[in-house]
Structure 1
Amino acid sequence: MLLILTIVFIISWFFLTNRRYRYLYILYKTLPRDLTALIRFGRLKLQLKNWVDDGITIPKVFRTHVSKHPNRVAFHFEDTSWTFQELEDFSNRVANYFIKEGYEKGDSVALLLENRIEYIGLWLGLAKAGVITALINTNLVSLPLHHCITVSHCKAVIYGSDFADAIDGIRDKLQDVKKYEFLTKEDVKAKESDVDLKKELQAQSASCPVERVNASIAKDKLIYIFTSGTTGMPKAAIIPHSRYMYGCLSLYCMSNLNDSDIFYNPLPLYHSAGGIVGVGQCLLFGLTVLIRRKFSASNFWNDCYKHKCTATNYIGETCRYILAAHKKDDPVPKHKVTKMVGNGLRAEIWEEFQKTFNVKQIFEFYGSTEGNANLINIDNTIGAVGFVPPLAPHSVCHVDLIRCDDETKEPLRTKDGLCIRCEPGQPGLMIGRIDPKKSINQFAGYVDRKETNKKILENVFSHGDSYFNTGDVLVKDELGYYYFVDRTGDTYRWKGENVSTTEVEKVVSEAVGLKDCVAYGVEVPKHEGKAGMLAIVDADHKLDKDALVQQLKTHLPSYAIPLFLRITRSVPMTGTFKIKKNELRKEGFSEVTGDEVYFLDMKSGKYVPVAQICDKIREGTLKL
């Protein structure tokens, strides 16, 4: 008996000291999750390695699905459906035409077109010719639009009829850029100075340009996707074939999709969420995908039901819109969707959304278009953007959190110059290890090499290593779950888009002639992201608010126009004359004293005193 008690005492002492009992608890709670993730991630890595080692590209994979089921529907769009063979033929015509036009491998062409099946066929065809397509945000006008076309060194631009005015607005600055108009309306004729691309494609051969297709490998550049990053004008993020594959594989494997799924993709095709994650399920895995011209909350479930969709993607704002469009007394919409994959779903509405619409699994993920720090939540843990096994060695984990300054968000370092890992509960910068030899850990960066270098942290955990700095602050718990906290740098997210405050400030300064202006994002109750707010120093009350609105509309995309305007005598400064944006953010739009604050009324197109509608904004009854 004494021996048994002694053994029990020794075992208890072993596990109850130094928090060893917590290790057992953590292992018990996370082992099933981690084993599931390990199997799925292993499948992902193996497939990606095989594709990269064999020099496989997106067009090559797509052709295998065309051979397997040429008559299967590849994409549904409105009242139109294209089979795999039809998309293959169209993209071949695109490739053959641009090869005849003299475009070489590595050239780039801008694409400014609404969501439609031809959008995918155009960039897929250009890829077959070895040409890189710059996917332009359709909201852009004026300077940002011109910047995106020129920064990606485009020799030509393909634009839809709906964007003729936007192109005309910068036509004089695009003298050396050839222009192809893709007619999207029957009663419209192409401009005489531009090429009628739709007409030209009809005369081309539908045979595959095999020699050009075979000349490309997985590491070659496929497309450019624009991201605001943390500062300045939009940046052209380089997406090689391997990066596109990784993005699609991550969703397909980690959410356990299969080729019998029908995928609904209602997101913009110029974004990675829609153009890679959504479209790629068809191109790489043979799924039928439904796309839409524009997202519609009221038609979301009707679309899913009509086309028998089993999975769909989202961004946080779309989920809130869908929930808001559903009245409490309405019955549960009929649909077959069991999986939703996306990012930005607020924890406050997560459970309500799942229960209201009877969606079995939500796969919330974290990542950026260009970055290599990616996570995914595979077990419906509310609010989590993903996880890392907490007991796994640091050497096998490619993402981590490091301590940073509360104000500047710059990494904190030890005396030997190395960064400090965050403990559970400590917010920190999310970083991803860079390893050029591994596709999963690569960071291709931007077309502008200087911007690429700004995102790389060196000598992080050992001298000589390098990590991608996401610019985002996250926090993890002891079970390894990660939760998004905030974005650093001069940027904020609104309406699913990244907004660069420096871009807004530049437009305001040049348009109005006021140097003392500050743009930033403020939280708005019951809304994802942060709404734009502009603080302008105007002690003499000379600002013409109506003229300001017109300039903002002319030079900025709609999502970047500040909803709130603050007229002030001065802005808070540090001792080194840096603007204290954090103070302005904390004060928001309703806690301001002594200054005039206005709200941009969408109906009148004017800034009106915020005091008149402040309650409606707080209650979420006013449409923003």
Structure 2
Amino acid sequence: MSTDRIHLGQVIKQTPRLAARIPNFIKAGRILNPLRHHTSLGSVIENSARRYADNPAIFYQDRRYSYKEFNAQANRVAHFLLQKGVKKGDVVALFMENRPEFLFCAVGIAKVGGVAALINTSQTGKVLSHSINLVKPVLAIVAEELVEPIEAVRGELELPADAYYFMADTDTLRDFGQEPDNYQNLARIVAALSTENPPTTATVTKSDFLFYIYTSGTTGMPKASITNHERWLAAHAGFGHVVSGMRPDDVFYLTLPLYHATGLLVCWGAIVAGPAAVVIRRRFSASEFWKDIHHYRCTGFGYVGELCRYLLNRPPQDDDADNPVRMMIGNGLRPTIWKEFRQRFAVDNIYEFYASSEGNVAFLNVFNMDNTIGFGGGNIALVKYDKETEQPVRNADGYLVPADDGEPGLLLGKITKATPFVGYTQKEKTEAALLRNVFTQGDVYFNTGDLIRHIGCRHYQFVDRTGDTFRWKGENVSTTELESILSSHPHIEEAVVYGVQIPNTDGRAGMAAITPCIPESEIDFKALLAFMRKELPPYAVPVFLRLRQQMETTGTFKYKKTDLKSDGFDVNKVSDPLYVWLPGTDTYALLTLPIHQAIQNGEYRY
């Protein structure tokens, strides 16, 4: 049984704090009132701009935008889209790193009822072209910093030549930059347009699609999960009002990518509830993190588990606990570092949550307990899971078997009218995520693919991911996708990908067992790594390689991964040649016993 059991007395102690937030609960109830059909992301921003016009909305480097200025620039984007004939339901691809223009564009698209396809900025090559073509956008907004990967696949994209719009990597309200050939300069175009709220905002409903957020899922190339306005509003109200009690004087530090649900829905959605200010950073830096926190006087920040571990790995400072932070919102903070992080940096409120871009299951750590993904999940079931077969266990009648209290079980979310599963743009992908006839004939559940356990008082703890997806660097990695791309290399006949654990790291690092078509001595490992880094996002590049003469398969030609996962990269157990990509290098090196021991001892930082 877990030592992190939560007891009723602990929960009761937190009720006075929650009772003081009753006015926030009322606000959240009004936002989520099913009769208020026309509440949307756009209307929330317009309301904030009207009531809190001069309050800071965005800090970025040396720039500051008030809610009035933010709304005005989003309106210019909206009027541009209306001029281009973009209508409700049309898709606009948004390929941009973290900066104010991302939010200007995302909100502008929302105000006309369009759907912003939030392209993962790590994507390149086949993955990038697939993600864009999948959702059939009518135009693409491409940031200057990402023109190069777009140009590399432009010939494969199903977009008209005049549908590419450029956003310079400058303060675009003052410097439009210089667009490349075959692009139109969006900042220059919108500068001449109206800053008034467009009439279309009032026509957008909660059920209208808002974003396509990409997820690797459990198989295949990235899937576009559907986020409607109601889903964003639920995160906005739930995390902003109910959980964190965000205030207008709060300043929230956000280094998480805005193309992810954690950054855009959970963190920024909560910020707007204040309405507070967001400090946007292009990407996370452990060395600059606390400097920024002090500079902007941030009262909160967004996190994933890896981010917290990187901060803990920094040498301790005398003033670690002397900071203005009172809350952190995110997911993936592991129990092994939870209390150490809270104590070292003196964070009073850790608002851990569990959810997914597409799922119908959510947990919120509303009671601010330690070591838990939170409270909730009225529609959930935990069922026994066989790690050998990688399937849920069924009884003699063919139904799934509930997990015992405290036992890790596969998390399922029952699909009901109150807890629907919107799914993906591809119907077959949506169907693949469902389990039918789970406990009775005709019932339907969403399969999260995650193992969790109950630790008392309807609080739960994350255990691990299952199947063909593992989590590394805060990202879900699809093994099927990797296997397909690796097998396209001319010197690789077959590839099997899986995740392996490295001591003192969160998640699982990628490992690929490959069958080369040429002798080991002829493999150019530097070129092989360069190929992977070109075709794959950084987090998906395998850290380890295992060279095999032949892969073992089942009778239905499925690869047998159980033994491979068990062997990992242990040179004492594996007779096949093993190679490793060490931090700071540009090639795979032979994994020797001394290197293996150094990795085990934490001498290499992953």
Indicate whether the TM-score tops 0.5: yes
After TM superposition, the structure 1 = structure 2 runs for residues 461-476 of structure 1, keeping only pairs within 5 Å, are 461-476=439-454
Q: Give the SS at the match of 1:242.
A: helix
Q: How big is the shift at 1:333?
A: 5.0
After TM superposition, the structure 1 = structure 2 runs for residues 307-456 of structure 1, keeping only pairs within 5 Å, are 307-325=296-314, 327-328=315-316, 330-388=318-376, 397-436=378-417, 438=418, 441-456=419-434
Q: How big is the shift at 1:319?
A: 0.5
2:600 paired residue number: 618
1:179 paired residue number: 164
1:134 matched to 2:117? The reply is: yes
**Identity value in percent:** 35
Distance (Å, rounded) in 1 between the aligned partners of 2:36 and 2:243 = 22
Letter in 2 for 1:471: G
Which structure 1 residue ranges, 5 or more long, are not aligned?
Answer: 1-24, 389-395
1:532 paired residue number: 510
Q: Give the SS at the match of 2:58.
A: strand
- Given that 1:492 and 1:521 are in contact with CA atoms closer than 8 Å, whether structure 2 keeps it comes out as yes
Distance (Å, rounded) in 2 between the aligned partners of 1:47 and 1:442 = 21
Distance (Å, rounded) in 1 between the aligned partners of 2:492 and 2:288 = 44
TM-score, structure 2 length as denominator?
0.91
1:10 paired residue number: none
Question: Which of 575, 578, 584 is the matching residue for 2:558?
Answer: 578
Q: How big is the shift at 1:33?
A: 5.6
Question: Which of 271, 275, 286 is the matching residue for 2:275?
Answer: 286
Distance (Å, rounded) in 2 between the aligned partners of 1:475 and 1:560 = 28
1:157 paired residue number: 140
Which structure 2 residue ranges, 5 or more long, are not aligned?
Answer: 1-5
Q: Give the SS at the match of 2:44.
A: helix
1:489 matched to 2:470? The reply is: no
After TM superposition, the structure 1 = structure 2 runs for residues 502-513 of structure 1, keeping only pairs within 5 Å, are 502-513=480-491
Q: Deviation string for 1:135-186 (max 9, x for gaps)?
A: 1111110111101101111121111111111111011112534111111156
Q: How big is the shift at 1:51?
A: 6.0
1:460 matched to 2:443? The reply is: no
Letter in 1 for 2:358: E
Distance (Å, rounded) in 2 between the aligned partners of 1:201 and 1:410 = 52
1:250 paired residue number: 238
1:208 matched to 2:197? The reply is: yes
Q: Give the SS at the match of 1:199.
A: helix
1:82 matched to 2:60? The reply is: no
Q: Deviation string for 1:439-471 (max 9, x for gaps)?
A: xx1221111111111112222233332221101
Letter in 2 for 1:423: D
After TM superposition, the structure 1 = structure 2 runs for residues 545-564 of structure 1, keeping only pairs within 5 Å, are 545-564=525-544
The more displaced of 257-266 and 499-508 is 257-266
Distance (Å, rounded) in 2 between the aligned partners of 1:282 and 1:328 = 29
Distance (Å, rounded) in 2 between the aligned partners of 1:317 and 1:44 = 33
- Given that 2:246 and 2:270 are in contact with CA atoms closer than 8 Å, whether structure 1 keeps it comes out as no
1:569 paired residue number: 549
Q: How big is the shift at 1:311?
A: 1.8
Q: How big is the shift at 1:244?
A: 0.8
- Given that 1:247 and 1:276 are in contact with CA atoms closer than 8 Å, whether structure 2 keeps it comes out as yes
Q: How big is the shift at 1:509?
A: 0.7
Distance (Å, rounded) in 2 between the aligned partners of 1:620 and 1:452 = 40
After TM superposition, the structure 1 = structure 2 runs for residues 236-275 of structure 1, keeping only pairs within 5 Å, are 236-252=224-240, 253-275=242-264
RMSD: 2.4
Q: 1:286 to 1:98 in 2, by over 3 A?
A: same
Q: 1:68 to 1:403 in 2, by over 3 A?
A: same
Q: How big is the shift at 1:290?
A: 1.3
The more displaced of 409-418 and 580-589 is 409-418
1:520 paired residue number: 498
Q: How big is the shift at 1:416?
A: 4.2
Distance (Å, rounded) in 1 between the aligned partners of 2:28 and 2:335 = 30
Q: 1:249 to 1:296 in 2, by over 3 A?
A: same
Q: Give the SS at the match of 1:204.
A: coil
The more displaced of 232-241 and 244-253 is 244-253
Q: How big is the shift at 1:296?
A: 1.4
Q: How big is the shift at 1:226?
A: 0.6
Q: 1:123 to 1:52 in 2, by over 3 A?
A: farther
Q: Deviation string for 1:560-609 (max 9, x for gaps)?
A: 11111111233444455432212211211124421111111354411111
Distance (Å, rounded) in 1 between the aligned partners of 2:83 and 2:316 = 58
Q: How big is the shift at 1:115?
A: 0.7
Distance (Å, rounded) in 2 between the aligned partners of 1:469 and 1:248 = 25
Question: Which of 65, 69, 72 is the matching residue for 2:48?
Answer: 65
Q: Deviation string for 1:515-571 (max 9, x for gaps)?
A: 321111110111111111111124843544233222212211111111111112334
Q: How big is the shift at 1:417?
A: 3.9
Letter in 1 for 2:110: A
Q: How big is the shift at 1:36?
A: 7.4
Q: Give the SS at the match of 1:485.
A: strand
Letter in 2 for 1:619: N
Q: Give the SS at the match of 1:53.
A: coil
Q: How big is the shift at 1:262?
A: 2.1
- Given that 1:225 and 1:238 are in contact with CA atoms closer than 8 Å, whether structure 2 keeps it comes out as yes
Q: How big is the shift at 1:205?
A: 1.2
- Given that 1:281 and 1:289 are in contact with CA atoms closer than 8 Å, whether structure 2 keeps it comes out as no
Letter in 2 for 1:472: D
- Given that 1:52 and 1:219 are in contact with CA atoms closer than 8 Å, whether structure 2 keeps it comes out as no
Q: How big is the shift at 1:428?
A: 1.2
Q: How big is the shift at 1:498?
A: 1.2
Q: 1:173 to 1:574 in 2, by over 3 A?
A: closer
Q: Deviation string for 1:6-29 (max 9, x for gaps)?
A: xxxxxxxxxxxxxxxxxxx96555
Distance (Å, rounded) in 1 between the aligned partners of 2:132 and 2:541 = 21
Distance (Å, rounded) in 1 between the aligned partners of 2:113 and 2:57 = 23
Distance (Å, rounded) in 1 between the aligned partners of 2:603 and 2:26 = 46
Larger Rg computed on CA atoms: 1
Distance (Å, rounded) in 1 between the aligned partners of 2:499 and 2:27 = 37
Letter in 2 for 1:555: E
Q: How big is the shift at 1:359?
A: 1.0
Distance (Å, rounded) in 1 between the aligned partners of 2:511 and 2:433 = 26
Distance (Å, rounded) in 2 between the aligned partners of 1:586 and 1:383 = 27
Distance (Å, rounded) in 2 between the aligned partners of 1:599 and 1:101 = 50
Q: How big is the shift at 1:331?
A: 3.0
Q: Deviation string for 1:208-240 (max 9, x for gaps)?
A: 111x11111011001111111111111111000
Distance (Å, rounded) in 1 between the aligned partners of 2:533 and 2:511 = 15
Q: 1:482 to 1:154 in 2, by over 3 A?
A: same
2:3 paired residue number: none
1:191 paired residue number: 180
Letter in 1 for 2:331: N
The more displaced of 234-243 and 253-262 is 253-262
- Given that 2:582 and 2:604 are in contact with CA atoms closer than 8 Å, whether structure 1 keeps it comes out as no
Distance (Å, rounded) in 2 between the aligned partners of 1:214 and 1:456 = 35
The more displaced of 403-412 and 426-435 is 403-412
Give aligned pairs, total: 588
Q: How big is the shift at 1:264?
A: 1.6
Q: 1:193 to 1:273 in 2, by over 3 A?
A: same
TM-score, structure 1 length as denominator?
0.89
Q: 1:167 to 1:329 in 2, by over 3 A?
A: closer
Q: 1:109 to 1:361 in 2, by over 3 A?
A: same
Distance (Å, rounded) in 1 between the aligned partners of 2:244 and 2:274 = 14
